[in-house]
Amino acid sequence: MVLAKEPSDFYIAQTQQWYRIPTSSRIPAALRQGTVRFLAFYFPQVFKEQRYSVRYYAAITKVEVVTRAELFPEETNSSRSGQTYHKISFGPLRELAQPIVSYRGRRLLFVPTTWAKFSQATEVNDLFHESPLEDVFWQELRRQNLPAERQVLLRTNGKSWVCDFVFYCAKGNVDVECDGDTYHMSPEAVIYDKARNNEIAAAADWDVLRFTTKHIEQEMPWAIGLVKQKIDRLGGLHYAKENVVRYVSNRNNQLDLFGAGS
């Protein structure tokens, strides 16, 4: 999935069937290597009624590096004419029967995914393809009606972190991390994770929960219980957009679902 930055860019996709990415940009390796089969377009806020959704996709036919002058031969020569781009050519656009939406209204640049996930997704968080452990946790969150945002970029003190799952609450936010044993149990990873935890937890409105493979595969009810307790302590989930389901617990510790405007 790629960002259709402006309606003019999507018009080119519709009429000329290509999309461009500056070669100076960091892009998924598979896209650069030409092994990606399909390209889908995510519409940001500027698309108004269609904003924050994926509605169209196409089969890729060719990936090549070209200059701006080759992409836009009608433009007057300038210092930009020699800039190079990955030109991704594709077949006719196909419209999804049901849009894939971002309930929170995120600005997303690239989201590599699989055809299986894309063809079954109903929201953009279904698309992320990071690890099997995260997928297991995500499916349980969906089953429990606990809406989270996946792969969220967080900046603290000049540093950038990517959070596996984020819950935005009324009185703060929660970063939930899924620590697979293969990587996160090494001494270097433990040191990094502790430093990361401290950086994020030091932010006034952030808490961190970390779950191991054992927690997720064998102790899922306990892990989900901790997430719910943390959400409760922070006043329940909060979403700015209307008609988005959020979680609030009642006195019997059961799940209640409310529209964000209720």
| Final residue before a domain boundary, out of 126, 142, 172 | 126
Same domain, 143 and 71: no
Tell which wins on pLDDT, 83 or 35.
83
Tell whether 64 and 146 lie within a shared domain: no
Q: Which helix (H) or strand (E) holds 31?
A: helix 29-33
Residue 134 host element (H or E): helix 132-143
The verdict on 137 and 223 lying in the same domain is yes
User: Is residue 141 located within the same domain as residue 119?
Assistant: no
Q: What is the pLDDT of residues 200-254, one digit of tens each?
A: 878 768 999 999 999 999 999 999 999 999 999 999 988 655 433 333 333 333 3
How many distinct structural domains can be found in the chain?
Answer: 2
Nearest to residue 106, comparing CAs of 90, 119, 125, 92? 125
Range of the domain at 182: 132-259
For residue 52, the domain's CATH number is 2.30.130
Residues 82, 186, single domain; the answer is no
* 177 and 100 within one domain: no
> In the predicted model, what is the mean pLDDT of residues 17-44?
89
Quick one: 12 and 121 in the same domain? yes
Which residues are bridge partners to 103 per DSSP?
none
Which of 100, 126, 152 is the last residue before a domain boundary? 126
Residues 149 and 253 in one domain: yes
CA distance 208 to 156: 14
Q: Which of 97, 126, 155 is the last residue of a domain?
A: 126
The reply to whether 141 and 222 lie within a common domain is: yes
Region 15-19: mean pLDDT is: 97
